[in-house]
Amino acid sequence: MLRVLFILLVFNNLNSQNANIQFSQNGIENPNILTTHHFGIFSSRISSNLKHHATTNTSINLNINSGNNFHPYVEGYFPKNPEVRQQFSETIWYNRRFNYLDEETTPADYMNIVVDAVIKHISLGVNIPINKNRELNINLRSYLFTKGKYPFSPITSDETIEWFHSHIIGDEDPFGRKYYGLNQTNINYLDRNGRTLQLKHNDFFIGGISFDHYYYPEISLNKTKQLFVNLGTHLGINTSKYNTSTDVGGSINFVKQFNLKNNYSFNFGIHGSVLRKNLIDFNKENIDFGNNKFLATFEANPQITRYTKNGNFNSIGINYQIQTSYNKKKEADYYFLLGEWQAADSGWHHGVSELYNSLSNWSIIYSYGSPKFLFSFYLKQDFLVNNAPDLQTGISFKKPLFN
């Protein structure tokens, strides 16, 4: 909390020093809405960039996100015997039977995982114009692991989520949060190489720094059809002791604008990106955060904006995001999962099984902009209940520094 207060004081000081610098809305300027997924936070995932053109002023932005992640303890076995794999591929996963004895008799890879925390993602970024068509974004990300108690997590706390399950949905403790205990911070992960990740209450680390270069080509469609495109190249340096590595990637973003009556405008954006994780490993003991080397992401984002007479604006947007799986999907054909299935109506296996599914989520984003700053708030929901995170919120504050 002291770190956050310090950053806010810095922002306030910058505001008083740069009162004459202004900026206006530039396409769809979303906050950082990347999920607090317990594997994803260790990589330099790519954010969408749905702006019309390169920024004209250097600006600084602060993002604070909060996501409730919950997966009960589950074990995963991955038989090495081709005959066992073939047999399992012909059997639905919950009817498979496997009794591990030793590596000689029943050879298999093994992992176990439990995830229970409200993860705070705090990022500080600088957006620097290079020329009329290019810009560079530099972003530093960090993470704090908490129990999610009131008043610091009023929306993403266990109590709020389970109250909603009990009183609105009418399903009492569907995932076993109450069974295992509310307000816990417990992340324990043993990967198939025998390396362990353990995170407890108030653990904090710097996740890494990313450099994102965007090129905005000038095309005739910019003026004739109000269709805009930008291309991104991405370099991420992951600095945590759990995954010290370099990621690289590329992205493409399209935005179509429609001018409406009565000071309204409508933008529709599409984002696509591919990230190559761990292109360079700086530590031979890096933990395995997914054996899928590439993460592909697609986003669709409509946004409607209303401008006021004094140059301010209010906008509401809806973002749909889907990302490819962290692990290679073929392993789901033969894995064997072991957990406390009696403790929850559903989801006892998600700690392993959801690593083999594409993950999707929806966000509703509100932004208020003035010539001096841009403020955003969003709420993210996982409607497929992979619970990584189940519910996530975030706020963002952006302001120009100097020309």
Per-residue pLDDT at 14: 46
Chain CA centroid to CA 295, Å? 12
Q: Are strands 204-215 and 227-238 parallel, antiparallel or unpaired?
A: antiparallel
The answer to whether residues 290 and 37 touch, using CB atoms and an 8 Å cutoff, is no
Residues 6+ apart with CB under 8 A from 86: 334
Distance CA 64, CA 393 (A): 9
385 burial type by CB count under 10 A (0-12 exposed, 13-18 middle, 19+ buried): middle
Per-residue pLDDT at 17: 47
Reported as a pLDDT band with limits 50, 70 and 90, residue 22 is low
211-224: pLDDT as tens digits: 999 999 999 888 88
Residue among 230, 193, 258 nearest 46 (CA):
230
In the chain, the amino acid numbered 139 is N
Chain CA centroid to CA 272, Å? 15
**What average pLDDT does range 143-164 have in this prediction?**
93
pTM for the whole structure: 0.91
Per-residue pLDDT at 180: 92
**What average pLDDT does range 319-332 have in this prediction?**
98
269-321: pLDDT as tens digits: 999 999 999 999 999 999 999 999 999 999 999 999 999 988 899 999 999 99
The answer to whether residues 112 and 340 touch, using CB atoms and an 8 Å cutoff, is no
Residues 6+ apart with CB under 8 A from 319: 30, 33, 48, 299, 300, 301, 362, 363, 364, 365, 378
92-118: pLDDT as tens digits: 999 999 999 999 999 999 999 999 999
Give domain limits for the chain.
2-402
385-396: pLDDT as tens digits: 788 899 999 999
Per-residue pLDDT at 401: 87
Is pLDDT of 151 > 90? no
Least confident of 35-39, 133-137, 164-168: 164-168
Is pLDDT of 15 > 50? no
Average pLDDT, whole number, for the chain? 93
Reported as a pLDDT band with limits 50, 70 and 90, residue 23 is low
361 burial type by CB count under 10 A (0-12 exposed, 13-18 middle, 19+ buried): buried
Per-residue pLDDT at 4: 47
- Number of C-alpha atoms within 13 angstroms, CB side, residue 240? 25
Does the domain at 2-402 match CATH 2.40.160.40? Answer given as yes
**What average pLDDT does range 247-267 have in this prediction?**
96
Angle at 79 between CA 323 and CA 356, to 5 degrees: 10
